[in-house]
Amino acid sequence: MEDLKGKMKELSAEEKADLDQARITADEETVGTKKLFIESYGCAMNFADSEVVTSILRDEGYSTTSKEYEASLILLNTCSIRDNAEQKVRKRLALINARNKGRKGVKVGVLGCMAERLKTQLLEEEKIVDMVVGPDAYRDLPNLIKEVEGGQKAVNVFLSREETYADITPVRLGSNGVTAFVSIMRGCDNMCSFCVVPYTRGRERSRSASTIVAEAQDLFDKGYREVTLLGQNVDSYKWKNEAGEIETNFAQLLALVADINPLLRVRFSTSHPKDITDEVLHTIKKYENVCNYIHLPAQSGSNRILELMNRTYTREWYINRIDKIREILGEDCGISHDMIAGFCTETEEDHQETLSLMDYVKYDYGYMYYYSERPGTPAAKKFEDDVTLEIKKKRLDDIIQKQRGHALERNNLSIGTIKKVLIEGVSKRSDDFLQGRTDDNKMVIIPKDKHKKGDYVQVKITECTSATLKGIALAEELA
C-alpha cells in the first residue's frame, strides 16, 4: 500500500459556501480496501492533521474516496474558531446522517477542535456521531473504531503534553506534488482571550529538529519543491536537549531546512508579533529559498482592544516589528494579517485605529472576520459581547474594502518587474494557463507553453487584480 497517493479536491462553489473552504478526500485507485471519507475544515494545521489520520488508517486497510456514499468510515475534521464554522459542521453531520440512514456498517466520527469542545453534545445529546476524537488522540483511532464496530460509542479527547506525531509520515492528501505542509509543533501557550485553541489543542510542544529536516528532505527527494512549516506560533519553536537547554530555535530550524537544497522553498506560518525576532528576519534575508513573506496577525490596531484580547503587545510594538521587517527584508517583503472586527466594547475610535494601522502597513493580504464569542474562553467569561451584529458587519466591510485597496496598490508595484515563480499546476479558470507563486506569496497566472508543475520560471508581470498577478514567462525552467 506504500504506492497509494491520496489527493484532495475543493468542494464546488455552492458546496463550500460559508464552509471555511472545506476539503474532501479524493479517490484512490485501489480495490479490496475499506473506504475512508474525510472532510476537513479550518486552518492548515487541520489539513495537515487529516494527512496524519489518513496515514494511521492506511495501516488499518483504508483507502480514501471522494464519494461519501462509498465510505464505511466518514470523518469530519473540525474547527472551533468561529461559531459559524461549528454550525455549518452540525448541518453537515445532520445531512450525512440523513443520507446514510439505512446503510449498514457506516460509522461517522468528528475529529479536531470541535470534537474536544463539544464531545458531550455530539455523542450523548444530539447523538449524531459514533465517535469523537481530539487532536492528540489520533493514534487511538484503530481502537476507537473497534469499539464503535462493537456497538459502543467511542471518545478520546485527552490532551497530551508530548504528542507531536513526529514518527508518522503523513499521506499528502492536499498534494499537488509541489507544495506540502510540515508540522513543527502543536498546541499554544498564548492565552488570547478570544481564542479556544489552548483549550482544544493543549499546551505548546515542539518536534525535534532532526525529524522535521528528515521529513522535508524526504519531500524534496519525492519531487516537492516547497514546504510550509506549521505551528500556532512558529516563532516560539524550541527543541531542547536532555539537559533542558534550547538546542534549536526557530531561526536555526529555518536554516536547517533551507540548507537541504536551494531548490526547496521554505515558508512558515503563523508568526506572533511578540515573538518574531531579528534573528528570524536575518535568516530569511540570508537564504534565497526562504520565502520573503510573513503572516503577522494584528487582530486590532487599538491598544485598548489589544489589552482586552491579551495579545501581550501594543500597537507601537507591532509597528516596530513591521518597521524592522521593512528595514531588513525591504519593501518587497509580503506581509499578511488577521483582523477581528467588533471585539467586546470596541468603539468607533478603536475601529478607526485598526484602519489606520492597515494604512500604515499596507498589507498584501488578510484574513478578516467579525468577532464570534466562543464559550469557555476568557473573553466569554469576563466581557459582554456588546457590539451589535450590524455594526460588526459594517466594520468588517470597512476592513475588507481597505484591504482590497491596499492589495491592489501592492500588486500594481509588481507590474513591469520580473518575478521567480514556482509553478503549482493548471489555472482554476483555464487549462491553457498555469498558476504559481512568487516567494512573497502572490499568485501568478501565465500561459502554459512548455512549462509544468514544479518548474521555476522567470515571469515578467504585465497586469494584476487585487488578488492575482498575470505575466509572461521569459525563460525555461530555472535552477
Three-class SS of residue 267? strand
Hey, which residues does 239 pair with through a beta bridge?
A: 248
Q: Give the helix/strand (H/E) hosting 258.
A: helix 250-258
Q: Say how far apart CA 348 and CA 325 lie, in whole Å.
A: 29
Q: Please check if 79 is assigned to a binding site.
A: yes
d(CA 135, CA 117): 11
Tell whether 291 is in a known binding site.
no
**Residue 286: all three cell numbers together:** 540570508
Question: To which H or E segment does residue 445 belong?
Answer: strand 443-447
* Maximum Cα interatomic distance, the chain, rounded to a whole number of Å: 65
Q: Judge contact between 269 and 228, C-beta under 8 A.
A: yes
CA angle at 405 for the pair 402 and 411, rounded to the nearest 5° = 135
Q: Nearest Cα to 268, choosing from 286, 279, 280, 259?
A: 280
- What is the rounded distance in angstroms from the CA atom of residue 251 to the CA atom of residue 196? 28
Choose among 192, 208, 109, 98: nearest CA to 149: 109
Among left, alpha and beta (phi > 0; psi -120 to 50; other), residue 73 is beta
Q: Which residues are annotated as a binding site?
A: 43, 79, 113, 188, 192, 195
| Residues tagged in the binding site annotation for [4Fe-4S] cluster | 43, 79, 113, 188, 192, 195
